[in-house]
Amino acid sequence: MIPVYTRPKSLTDVVTHYCPGCPHGIAHRLVAETIDELGIQERTVGVASVGCSVFSYNYFDVDFQQAAHGRAPAVATGIKRVNPECIVFTYQGDGDLASIGMAEIVHAAVRGENITVIFINNAIYGMTGGQMAPTTLVGQKTTTSPFGRDPSTQGYPVKISELLSTIKGAHYVARFSLHNPANIQRAKQGIKKAFQNQIEGKGFSLVELLSTCSTNWGMTPQNALKWLEENMIPEYPLGEFKTGEGE
Amino acid sequence: MSESLLMKGNEALAEAAIRAGCRFYFGYPITPQNEISEYMARRLGEHGGVFVQAESEVSSINMVYGAAGAGGRVLISSSSPGISLMQEAISYIAGAELPCVIVNMSRGGPGLGGIQPSQSDYFQATKGGGHGDYRMIVLAPATIQEGCDLMATAFELADKYRNPVMVLGDGMIGQMMEPVVFPEVLDATELPPKPWATTGAKGRKRNIISSIYLDPEELDAHNWRLEEKYRKIRESEVRYEVLHGDDAEWFFVAYGTVARICTAVIQRLRKEGVKAGLIRPISLWPFPDEAFEKVADRAKGFLTVEMSTGQMVEDVRLAVNGRKPVYFYGRTGGAVPTPRSVERRLRDMMDGKVPSQTDYFDRVGGAK
Amino acid sequence: MEKRVVFKEDHCKSCELCISVCPKKIIRLRTELNRLGYHPAYVSDEDQEKCISCALCARMCPDAVIQVWRP
């Protein structure tokens, strides 16, 4: 028998703490596959954030640092500046990156910091129990927007990929979705490009991955993916916003 | 040893850090310590080092966390409001047991306060400015030469104990000029290895740097393991200076800039036959209780002088433990105690009067 | 018989995402519970030959439970 798909060796052999059907696991697997394929396991250093992915260091078989809420890009900067030969990536959710960590992500991009950022956008704070995130859609109900997000008092969703693509220092900015195998495959290509860029010294790369939170959205995993496709993609269009070509 | 150079305190500390093997500096502008950043921006590159100006103090101290975790010899500097912003990450650094040196050229607070010298960050520095059970080694130089010497000590202690170390100066130490002699530049490649650092898991198990322990038993064990480390530091790393410890009856207790003023007052008093002395804590944490043990029985009283409304005096009272009277005199906000006013407080104490805490109360006839 | 699709059943959380993407509709949940307390997904021995080794299930699985081979 010829192997078609085997478990990436950069994943540790433990059961994750994520809820059933949580796309964090898919994103982890894609990052681990990328690390394997690029042969960089022995020089990769990950930075875990605060939120559901706080324990991501348990799941990648590489060196890891756990950062304070929102500060992963600053921590990654420190690591990369000390050991430029290391491949440094942050793994952050939308509460971490797009709310409390907005300054750190913007300025890491401004500096053109040669790091890779994996950004999980599921439009909600998962770990703390389903509060409104800056990425929560208009009208979306969360525990702190119980009547639906009201733009008159709570504003509109923040679009990180569009925002960062205006920054000259950012080399690669792209948004993908994890709602079906075809899109997962595209996301994988984007993640691989974001790591390859760092290996080639091209500078800051960020991949935004649209994801779900079936637990806090109150849906089955399958229905959550359908909701993502029907509601999030129109608000957060997929594609490569910045590819560094022609610069 | 090289020749004596006349240098500004901030620049001298920066040079001392480079000579102590510091190759990574992260900063954000704030008065009165900008010369440290500016010096590092100019000079660190000559030694193969890296200078980064961050977008905020919050970010700069988290860069320190990353760089220290990656095995670098790291310095950060700021002044009081900036140090306040760093407290979260200092707690993380202590919790994750990472070595780094933090310079605080403190200025008057609270809030935005002022930009003149102050010692009102004593509580923040020594009592855990951030959350959780942790301790930071705090070293307080009184001269620029001592600041430079302590800079090397600070990096050694940080590595030895895997703990943040603060060099606590004030605007005066940072801004004045004094002659200073530096040691030769330390070969940064010969520093002890850091096998715990996140440098890529080649030929070893992966390293993880973290301060999260959700299991209460694990966190309890972690905290008591840290406390055991702090106990060793208390036993081994106390630093202080005593002037006239052999015969003094009346002791000033002061650190940093104020200790210099007290020293001048003691010289004058001694000419008039007053047996005055000084206890000058150099390590503010661990606090030098033993200095008081040696003199408490003979001493008639202690006058703590600070550029604050009374912070270190609490540790002095704990050390003296009711055996002798402990009084306080302080100025704040950049006002510096004058030798004359300091001397008057000591004479009040000798006359059996309670010295006024501050010149402000003298003027308004306020609380004694 | 060599299997084409193998499940690490101890890691499965019965999210059913593999079931939703299988073009041959051969993945089912066991009635028994695994050690995590979930009904793990599996493909029966008799259905193994119906598997076309497309690996969509493995690419969809959030828990890296599934490995796929082809003859």
Q: Where are the domains of chain C?
A: 5-68
| pLDDT band for position A15 (cuts 50, 70, 90) | very high
Quote ipTM for the complex: 0.96
Query: What percent of chain A has pLDDT above 90?
Result: 98
Does A247 have pLDDT greater than 80? Answer: no
CB contact under 8 A, A107 and B55: yes
**Largest pairwise CA distance in chain A:** 60
Q: Does C52 touch chain A (CB under 8 A)?
A: no
- The pairing of strands A239-242 and C41-43 is unpaired
Distance from CA of A56 to the nearest CA of C (A): 13
| pLDDT band for position A244 (cuts 50, 70, 90) | confident
Residues 6+ apart with CB under 8 A from A33: A8, A10, A188
Average pLDDT over every residue of B103-124: 96
Contacts of A64 in chain B (CB under 8 A): 198, 206-210
Residue of chain A whose alpha carbon sits nearest to that of C59: A181
Distance from CA of C29 to the nearest CA of A (A): 14
| pLDDT band for position A245 (cuts 50, 70, 90) | low
Written out in words, the top-level CATH class of the domain with range C5-68 is alpha beta
Q: By a Cβ cutoff of 8 Å, what residues of chain A touch chain C?
A: 1-8, 11, 15-16, 18-26, 28-29, 180-181, 184-185, 220-222, 225
Please state, in angstroms and rounded to a whole number, the distance separating the CA atoms of residues B95 and A65: 13
pLDDT value of position C1: 66
**Largest pairwise CA distance in chain B:** 72
Distance from CA of A18 to the nearest CA of C (A): 9
Q: Which of A63, A71, A80 sits opposite B207 (nearest CB)?
A: A63
Asked if the bond preceding A73 is cis, omega within 30° of 0, the reply is no
Does B368 have pLDDT greater than 60? Answer: no
Q: Subunits touching B (CB < 8 Å, at least 3 pairs)?
A: A
pLDDT value of position B190: 85
Please state, in angstroms and rounded to a whole number, the distance separating the CA atoms of residues B265 and B53: 42
Query: What percent of chain A has pLDDT above 70?
Result: 99
In chain C, count H helices and then E strands.
Answer: 2, 4
Residue of chain C whose alpha carbon sits nearest to that of A220: C15
Q: Mapping DSSP to helix (H, G, I), strand (E, B) and coil, where does residue A92 land?
A: strand
Distance from CA of B357 to the nearest CA of A (A): 41
**Looking at chain A, how many residues does it have?**
247
Which pLDDT tens digit goes with each residue over B215-236?
999 999 999 999 999 999 999 9
CB pairs under 8 A between A and C: 80
Count of Cβ atoms closer than 10 Å to residue A6 Cβ: 16
Domains of chain B: 5-236 (3.40.50.970), 241-364 (3.40.50.920)
pLDDT value of position B363: 87
Contacts of C55 in chain A (CB under 8 A): 4-5
Are the C-beta atoms of B128 and B97 separated by less than 8 Å? no
CB contact under 8 A, B66 and A67: yes
Does A38 have pLDDT greater than 60? Answer: yes
Q: Subunits touching C (CB < 8 Å, at least 3 pairs)?
A: A
Contacts of C59 in chain A (CB under 8 A): 5, 181, 184-185
pLDDT value of position B366: 65
Does A246 have pLDDT greater than 60? Answer: no
Three-class SS string for B169-189? EEHHHHHCEEEECCCCCCCHH
pLDDT value of position B362: 86
Does A22 have pLDDT greater than 70? Answer: yes
Report the residue of A12, A13, A15, A214 to disrupt the C interface, i.e. the one with the largest count of C CBs within 10 Å.
A15
CB contact under 8 A, A77 and B63: yes
Element (H, E) at B64: helix B57-69
Q: Which of A1, A20, A28 sits opposite C13 (nearest CB)?
A: A20
Distance from CA of A188 to the nearest CA of C (A): 10
CB contact under 8 A, A20 and C59: no
Q: Which of A48, A67, A83 sits opposite B70 (nearest CB)?
A: A83
CB contact under 8 A, A26 and C68: no
Token pair 């974001």: residue:
A194
pLDDT value of position A60: 98
Q: Which of B71, B206, B212 sits opposite A66 (nearest CB)?
A: B212
Eight-class DSSP state of A67: P
Contacts of B202 in chain A (CB under 8 A): 42-43
Does B1 have pLDDT greater than 60? Answer: no
Worst-scoring range by mean pLDDT, A119-128, B49-58, B281-290, B355-364? B355-364
Residue of chain B whose alpha carbon sits nearest to that of A49: B210
- Short-list B52, B35, B42, CA closest to B169: B35
Which pLDDT tens digit goes with each residue over B133-156?
999 999 999 999 999 999 999 999
Contacts of A222 in chain C (CB under 8 A): 16-17, 20
Report the residue of A11, A14, A41, A66 to disrupt the B interface, i.e. the one with the largest count of B CBs within 10 Å.
A66
Report the residue of A75, A90, A114, A117 to disrupt the B interface, i.e. the one with the largest count of B CBs within 10 Å.
A75
Residue of chain A whose alpha carbon sits nearest to that of B65: A75
Count of Cβ atoms closer than 10 Å to residue A168 Cβ: 10
Which pLDDT tens digit goes with each residue over B13-55?
999 999 999 999 999 999 999 999 999 999 999 999 999 999 9
Eight-class DSSP state of A225: H
CB contact under 8 A, A180 and C60: yes
Question: For chain A, what is the mean pLDDT?
Answer: 97
Contacts of A2 in chain C (CB under 8 A): 69-71
What string of pLDDT tens digits covers the 71 residues of chain C?
A: 689 999 999 999 999 999 999 999 999 999 999 999 999 999 999 999 999 999 999 999 999 999 999 99
CB contact under 8 A, B24 and A48: no
- Short-list A155, A170, A164, A173, CA closest to A239: A173
Please state, in angstroms and rounded to a whole number, the distance separating the CA atoms of residues A37 and A50: 28
Question: For chain B, what is the mean pLDDT?
Answer: 96
Please state, in angstroms and rounded to a whole number, the distance separating the CA atoms of residues A87 and A46: 8
Residue of chain A whose alpha carbon sits nearest to that of B209: A65
CB contact under 8 A, C59 and A181: yes
CB contact under 8 A, B202 and A43: yes
Which pLDDT tens digit goes with each residue over A52-61?
999 999 999 9
Distance from CA of C71 to the nearest CA of A (A): 5
Contacts of A81 in chain B (CB under 8 A): 24, 50, 52, 63, 67, 72
Eight-class DSSP state of B323: S
pLDDT value of position B133: 97
pLDDT value of position B154: 98
Q: Does C39 touch chain A (CB under 8 A)?
A: no
Fold of A24-129+158-242: Rossmann fold (3.40.50)
Q: Which of B52, B58, B70 sits opposite A79 (nearest CB)?
A: B70
Q: By a Cβ cutoff of 8 Å, what residues of chain A touch chain B?
A: 41-45, 47-48, 54-55, 57, 61-68, 71, 74-83, 85-86, 103-104, 106-107, 110-111
DSSP H helical ranges for chain A? 24-38, 72-82, 94-95, 102-110, 151-154, 160-164, 181-199, 214-217, 221-227, 233-235
> How far from B238 is each of A206, B130, B198, B297, C30, CA to CA, in Å?
48, 22, 31, 21, 65
**Burial status of residue C68 (CB atoms within 10 A of its CB: 0-12, 13-18, 19 or more):** buried
pLDDT value of position A110: 97
Q: Which of C14, C20, C63 sits opposite A25 (nearest CB)?
A: C63
pLDDT value of position A4: 97
Count of Cβ atoms closer than 10 Å to residue B93 Cβ: 31
Does B367 have pLDDT greater than 70? Answer: no
